[in-house]
Amino acid sequence: MKAGDEKLTEVFTTKVRYEIPIFQRPYTWDEDKNWLPLWDDLRQAAERAEAVAATEAGPDEQQELFLGALVTQHRPPVPKRVPTKQVIDGQQRMTTLQVFFASAHRVAHELGATDAADSFRTLIRNPVSSESDYPGDAYKLTPLPDDAPAFRWSVRLAGDDASCPDSDHKLVRAAAWFEDTVRTWAQEAIDPVDRLDMLHFAVTEQIKVVSVYLDARDDPQVIFEALNYKGEPLDPTDLVKNLLFQRIDAQGDHSVAHSLHEQHWRLLDDSSWRRKVTTGRISRVRADTLLAYWLSAQLGDVVSVEHLYATFKTWLLASEPTPRAADVVIDIRRWADTMDELIARPTTDPVRQVVDRLEATNTTTPWPMLLFLHATGDVPPEQATLGARALDSFLMRRAVCGMTAKDYNRLFGSVLGKVRSAAPEVAGHTVVDELAAQTADARSWPTDSEFIQALVADDIYNTIPRARLRSLLVGLDTALHNDHQEHREALTATNQALTVEHILPQHWEEHWPLPGERDADVEHAVRAGHVHQLGNLTLTVRRLNSALSNAPWSAKRPTIQKHSLLRLTTASILTVPEGVKDWTSSAWEQDWDESRIQVRTFWLTRLALSTWSRPDPSPDSAQSAQSVAEVGEPAS
């Protein structure tokens, strides 16, 4: 490795082609954070040169400016080609400088500054014959494929009237911004031509970079990580990508690197994977979370995004046998496709419903196992679905029972390790068996009796987080439609328009008088014990205003009928629940009170037991389930 400071004229006037390797990310710089500060540095250098020229000061008073580091590595020479250097670090700055030089060239040509126009041209073009078999060698820089059309247009020569390929591309916007800025600045001077000459002089003679040249023995990844340069911070995915494609090269797979990037990795650079998603209380880049899930599955332990790159690097470089980086890229893409496919499934699909509940409750710990079951291609679909539904039941039952989620990281990592070592044909059964075998309070899968006790509790509305309660009610509504084989788009728990509504209102005193058949204190206590029960809750597509919400049953019933066309409402509130004994339809529809709430609570509890079933119930659980199945009108 060699390092030293170089003037920009030494970097760009030699016959060389700088190549942006495919492991780098696309162009990201923008006006406020990058173009404007860079221009301020260049402009001030030019204005100092103007001042020095005006006073005829000696060269000792010339001030130099450093723009940062540029790390390159020579590529093996190829006959008839311009010598190539791969840009390991500094590609955003180098690309921006090329756009700036081209913009200054076009402005100089426009304003008649011929010398400056010609001089800037030498910074953006190599002397390559028009008859060359490699016309791309005429450019000083070869960008990533995604940036290439916009870059070629942005560094076009004066007089080139090519149409703009993408007016929204950051490189195109950079070219327009630098042209306008340089033109305005030049025209502010008495002599714009002289000012543009000073700009070229300052840029080439007073602006320097720290150039680091790597030879074949140097590890570019180590240099890349060690440098602290003034640029955009890299996400863990960027660092992982860099490392993987460096390893692809080192492992002798350079010939397939481009196809690996275009056919497999490129998806992860798209905006859909670079957007922020919330995990817990923190926003993460979606691609970072995917890589954390993938690596968690490889290690059988949860990997946090904060330590993603360091953990990934250790795994990649220290594993025995050494993983083939090309295979890793392909497998990561398979997981990305799987995640997209699960999310895109119709809402009637049972696994999509599990995903919906994970998203609605912001639960991320089961994702590595869920993706593993579906991404390998070896696990039969029915086993993958069995495993997904077991996870769903485990999570729902524990949440309804108010049990902690603190140990889920280690638990699901441990279960995934057992699933990985099991035959794919029994992967789903392995998930079920491992979860059912847990006995610690922080890990147990609640029995039917525990689940029933929580479902029939007096205050389920206030004891379960709202997102989980909405997920419970959505799941029950979906189960009712499935029971009747109704084909419609299922509700989603992530639908924020859905509101949990009390049928007997929380503020019932004005329009819902007590029966007056027993002591007032007793009747008040009975009512207080039913208002927040499961049987008194439903979902509406929009929140009712307080007047309608608290209205008497005679007024509220048609409102509920209008705004909640869900089977959760129509099949158990507006009509007598199917299979309930001792109630006629006409009697059920006349009123809404504590007895109906209790009947519906047990009826929904029975439905919840089958929707989120648990294998091998203990004898006491079976007895409790039987009591629910036989529910009728409760005794007074």
Distance CA 154, CA 148 (A): 10
Instruction: Give me the pLDDT at residue 225, please.
Output: 62
Model pLDDT, residue 625: 45
Which residue type is seen at 431? V
Contact indicator for 67, 41 with CB cutoff of 8 Å:
yes
Confidence (pLDDT) at 301: 84
pLDDT surpassing 90 at residue 311? yes
- Estimate the crossing angle of helix 91-110 against helix 170-187, to 10 degrees: 50
pLDDT digits (tens, 9 = 90+) for 398-454: 999 999 999 999 999 999 999 999 999 999 999 999 999 999 999 999 999 999 999
Least confident of 70-79, 238-247, 624-633: 624-633
Q: For residues 311-339, give the mean pLDDT.
A: 95
* Top-confidence residue, 381 or 270: 381
Cβ pair 196, 55 in contact under 8 A: no
Would you say residue 84 has pLDDT above 80?
yes
Side chain identity at residue 511, one-letter code: H
Per-residue confidence (pLDDT) for residue 631, from 0 to 100: 45
Residue 546 banded pLDDT, cuts 50, 70, 90:
low
DSSP 8-state assignment for residue 265: I
User: d(Cα 298, Cα 318) in Å, to the nearest integer?
Assistant: 13
CB atoms within 10 A of CB 130: 6
522: exposed, middle or buried (Cβ count in 10 Å: 0-12, 13-18, 19+): exposed
What pLDDT score does 165 carry?
94
Read off the pTM: 0.75
Q: Which residue has the higher pLDDT, 386 or 552?
A: 386
pLDDT score at 618: 38
The rounded distance, in Å, linking the Cα atoms of 547 and 556 is 10
For tokens 């170089």, the residue is 6
Mean pLDDT over 335-340 rounds to 98
Is pLDDT of 203 > 80? yes
Instruction: Rank 128-137, 232-241, 276-285, 461-470 by mean pLDDT and report only the highest.
Output: 461-470
- For range 463-475, the mean pLDDT: 95
| Mean of pLDDT values over 63-82 | 86
pLDDT at 529: 84
d(CA 435, CA 412): 9
pLDDT band of 1, cuts 50, 70, 90: low
Longest dimension (CA), the chain: 108
The model's pLDDT over 167-201, given as tens digits with 9 standing for 90+, comes to 999 999 999 999 999 999 999 999 999 999 999 99
Where residue 300 falls among pLDDT bands split at 50, 70, 90?
Answer: confident
pLDDT value for 375: 96
Q: What pLDDT score does 634 carry?
A: 42
Which pLDDT score, from 0 to 100, does residue 636 have? 34
Share of the chain above pLDDT 70, in %: 90
CA nearest neighbour of 289 among 341, 235, 328: 235
Mean per-residue pLDDT of the chain: 88
Q: Which two tokens stand for residue 185?
A: 């600045």
Position 265, amino acid: W
Residues whose CB is less than 8 angstroms from the CB of residue 231 and which lie 6 or more positions away in sequence, other chains included: 68, 90, 92, 93
Residue 268: count other Cβ atoms within 10 Å of its Cβ.
23
Give the pLDDT of residue 254. 82
Q: List all residues 6 or more positions away from 176 whose beta carbon is below 8 Å from its beta carbon.
A: none
CB 172 within 8 A of CB 190: no
> What is residue 617's predicted lDDT score, i.e. its pLDDT?
39
Structure letter (DSSP) for residue 59:
G
DSSP symbol at 221: H
In angstroms, the Cα distances linking 568 to 84, 627, 631 are: 67, 22, 18
